[in-house]
Amino acid sequence: MAGKYYEEFEPGETIVHEKRRTVSERDNQTFCDMTMNQQPLHLDAAFAADTQFGERLVNGIYTMALATGLSIPDTTDGTIVANLSYDDVEHPNPVFHGDTIRAESTVLDKRETSDGERGVVTMRVDAYKADGDDETLVCSFERTVLSLKRPDAE
């Protein structure tokens, strides 16, 4: 399994996720269709042209979901019991069609469950878009998971 067991998470550690994804118009359209979100700011080019952004924005929930997905191989792939919460979600800058997104996770806290069988891990996930030679933060949130302990941790 690629994911980490509870014992392998270290508070303060930052995991830079290697995978990136360029967001397409189709990604945004499909996500909006699947979630029945018909906000014209995401879908209507003429409407969006008259906003402060001047073009359609990628759905923020898609951006958050993409950041979560980019983080999973290095954090919870095959080692998660459940996602417990997503908190303190922020979208400080917009994402547009054609932006390339990457993510990193910083472990904020961890604790064993009351029965000692599993562990609860909280991570801050930050998503960035490439901006020339720089990067711009586009989404940030805390993700709390119920994690398996290593089978041989007894």
Segments forming the whole domain that contains residue 122: 6-23+58-148
Mean pLDDT on 75-85 = 96
Residue 35 maps to a domain: no
In a domain, 128, yes or no: yes
Residues with Cβ within 8 Å of residue 21, at least 6 apart in sequence? 66, 70, 100, 101
Task: Determine the pLDDT at residue 98.
Answer: 97
Instruction: Take residue 74 and report the two structure tokens written for it.
Output: 């290095």
Q: What's the structural domain count of the chain?
A: 1
Q: E strand or H helix at 31, and its extent?
A: helix 25-35
Q: What is the pLDDT of residue 83?
A: 96
**What pLDDT band is residue 49 in, cutting at 50, 70 and 90?**
very high
- pLDDT confidence tier of residue 153, bands split at 50, 70 and 90: low
Tell whether 73 is covered by a domain. Answer: yes
Residue 49: which residues within 8 A CB-CB, separation 6 or more? 55
Residue 38 covered by a domain: no
Cβ neighbours of 137 (radius 10 Å): 13
**41 is a domain residue:** no
Average pLDDT value for residue range 101-114: 97
By percentage, how much of the chain surpasses pLDDT 70?
98
pLDDT of residue 121: 98
The CATH number of the domain holding residue 78 is 3.10.129.10
Query: Residue range 73-89: average pLDDT?
Result: 96
Summary mean pLDDT of the chain: 95
Contact 99, 129 (CB under 8 A): yes
Q: Can you say how many angstroms the Cα of residue 98 is from the centroid of all Cα atoms in its chain? A: 18
What pLDDT does 154 receive? 54
